[in-house]
Structure 1
């Protein structure tokens, strides 16, 4: 009897513990269900907020796209107006006479008087009847961008030859030859070119191509002009330029100690010396023998000069600023005394990328082949007669 009571007691106690465990588990499940329900509510709220944020972002992006298109339209309009203003400035600037580009002091006046007397004693004997001079720049064409910031490109001036020659950089021993401007224009980089290995290194940006010959500057201890035949691929002549103490001819292009130029009358050398380092000098060369025919000291300063070229025996010096802006022809020198610096028009070049490292004139086309911060540019010139000024 006592055993039965004990068994019943234990059974009741076990049932009570089991019920308590069930009650505990039910409470925990209810708590978990409450949390799951809360998570569902929060997830739904977050999803709704994300959808609203996405709609806001889409709306803002659409607004930004509209504003971007409006801004692009406005910028196009501003660019058009700026181009119009620059053309008007070009026109107005070409109507004004060139400002004197020399320091007026007693020494300079004495030097100019001396130069005038020397010219009267030895007049230059013209090789042609060319009497053209620049009136203005008609058009500019940016052909492509190939090569480094500085370089030279030139077209063979001989009739019937359309070959283009590229001097990439300011030193090297090879150049690139293209059969035409069109081939150069459509060539990816220099891939369509023929590589010409020169017999010696070239330096600076003062090289030209004339009558199937490349004339380039070799500088080691002395300045040497080298003549290279593009048909036979051989050096035909070379000559040491008989002037001591060379200095860079252009203040803004210090890598160019001498600049060669070609015009209707042949081959020229543009240079500067320590004895006359403030001003540019000019020499007429015999294209066949490389002999110097005559030399002149000009009144054109080397300071802030970036490039120069010769047309019909007239030297045109192009100036700029230390922070590249609009280049301008600000000083001229005519070996035949037909053009004075005061009478020559002040010609501005259209705004470009940086500064010219070279300007090469082609007399057959009346074009300037320019190298500007790696871009190859063509300038079409408008001419007038010297006697009309």
Structure 2
């Protein structure tokens, strides 16, 4: 009874403190009278179960610990943590400077990558363009033998001239004989007289002619210093026209699709120094290494055509152009090294020649004599020498000579075809490819030596003719 009164007085006291309380009376399962009251808590609307108190205390302790850590971190950063800094837009200079440097470096790397990709694309395009010409490239020798120029008019020195029999140390590779034949065409007597006046074999300007019996070691006159000079053509005019002389030297670097620059040098010594007197810009691009200079004109094959053109060196204009009927061009019938060498021009004591092939000849070498003024064909010879089977060719005293290989160190002059007699024979005259990439060989009748381009190097070969 005393407990009931205490509960009642407690409820009245709480009610006096303006807190709502409810008093209930009920009988329990045993029949006892039970008094209970309920008071609304100022913090919670219901009391937790007795078993949940420890969990709540543990959670409260964890929250207090986290709050303590946050307060410590706030004090260590001057009252502004990372999240607070972001929320308030704070900026830390010490952290911003490295970030700015990283962003600048990253941007520079992106720009460098873009430049490299552009350069890679350009190189790939260039590789595709030069793929055919550079497919047979070999390792190039680093050492250059010191060049010695023989005194003018004295010919090769004693140490250079050796009997052909002594050249057996070269041990040339055995070659298979190729049968040759010629096609003879009946020519009126009037035309034969015209040809004799223009310089047929036997004319006075062919005095001292003979058969090639010996080729000496190459002498280096200059070296190209860029990829455009991998192969090219260099020459002198055996019959120059004023203001040019026999010492005036001409050069063309023939790598590329727009070969238009013709370099002029006062002499071979200036060529060796690499400083041209003048650069001529051809009206039409040139194809490959078959050009020659003769009687004041540059004779060359215009790009992607079967024509031959004459560029006047004084007037700096094309004065004549003529197609070679049926001639292959742009890779149809090249020499073995490729390079679009389908049409090759040559000069000897008797005049101007063009070396090519046709579909009718089935890839065999065809040789024609040209009028240097009108570029008309005066006479034609057809052989059975496959043009792709030889590396290059040249004409001396009306006889066509071929080189066996462009890359073998110890190559040979392996065939000769005499246009005066229509006969041919196999040869084994040693020929040294010192730099292993012979792309041009021409004969200069005024100097009686061969001019050649061998893997960036411009060289000459002394020669000996029988009976000369």
Say whether 1:328 aligns with 2:412: yes
The yes-or-no answer on 1:258 pairing with 2:343 is yes
Give the 3 Å change call, closer, same or farther, for CA 338–238 of structure 1 in structure 2: closer
1:236 and 1:88, CA in 2 relative to 1: closer, same or farther beyond 3 A?
A: closer
1:130-149 aligned within 5 A = 130=206, 131-147=209-225, 148-149=229-230
Residues 1:119 and 2:184 aligned together: yes
Q: Is the Cα–Cα contact under 8 Å of residues 300 and 332 in structure 1 kept in the other structure?
A: no
Following the alignment from structure 1 to structure 2, what is the Cα–Cα distance between the partners of residues 324 and 280? 22
Please provide the CA RMSD for this pair: 3.1
SS in 2 for 1:341: strand
Q: Which deviates more from structure 2 when the two are superposed, residues 151-160 or residues 375-384?
A: 151-160
> Could you report, residue by residue, the CA deviation over 1:7-54 in whole angstroms, capped at 9, with x for unpaired residues?
xxxxxxxxxxxxxxxxxxxxxxxxxxxxxxxxxxxxxxxxxxxxxxxx
- Paired residue for 2:167, among 91, 94, 109? 91
Residue 137 of structure 1 and its aligned partner are, at CA, apart by: 1.3
SS of residue paired to 2:211: strand
Between 121-130 and 308-317, report the one with greater CA deviation: 121-130
Distance 2:357 2:459 in 1: 27
Partner of 1:238: 321
* Contact 2:328/2:356, CA 8 A, preserved across alignment: no
Equivalent of residue 452 in structure 2, options 350, 370, 376? 370
Alignment: residue pair count: 284
Counterpart among 156, 173, 177 of residue 264 in structure 2: 177
2:439 matched to 1:357? yes
Tell me how far apart the structure 2 counterparts of residues 320 and 150 of structure 1 sit (CA, whole Å): 15
Structure 1 segments unaligned to the other structure (5+ residues): 1-82
- For the pair shown, the structure with the greater C-alpha radius of gyration is 2
Q: Distance in 2 between matches of 1:90 and 1:253?
A: 33
Residue 327 of structure 1: CA displacement?
2.4
- 1:315 correspondence with 2:391: no
2:227 paired with 1:157: no
Aligned match for 1:274, one of 359, 363, 366:
359
Considering Cα pairs closer than 8 Å and 6+ residues apart, tell me whether 1 or 2 has the greater RCO: 1
Equivalent residue runs for 1:169-248 within 5 Å: 169-170=254-255, 171=257, 172-185=259-272, 187=273, 189=274, 191-220=275-304, 222-246=305-329, 247-248=332-333
Question: What is the deviation of 1:93?
Answer: 7.6
2:306–2:328 Cα contact (<8 Å) kept: no
Q: 2: CA distance between counterparts of 1:280 and 1:264? A: 21
Cα-to-partner distance string for 1:188-223 (whole Å, 9 max, x where unaligned): x3x334110111110111000001110011133x31
| Structure with more of its chain in helix, by fraction | 1
Judge conservation of contact 1:267–1:284 (CA < 8 Å) in 2.
yes
How many Å separate the matches in 2 of 1:347 and 1:152?
23
Contact 1:204 1:256 (C-alpha < 8 Å) held by counterparts: yes
Report SS of the residue matched to 1:327: strand
**TM-score (normalizing by structure 1):** 0.66
Normalized per residue, the structure richer in strand is 1
CA distance in structure 1 between the partners assigned to 2:170 and 2:424 by the alignment: 16
How far does residue 300 in structure 1 lie from its aligned partner after superposition?
Answer: 1.8
Gapped runs of 5+ residues in structure 2? Answer: 1-158
Q: Note the 1:101-116 alignment, pairs <5 A.
A: 101-102=177-178, 112=181, 115=182
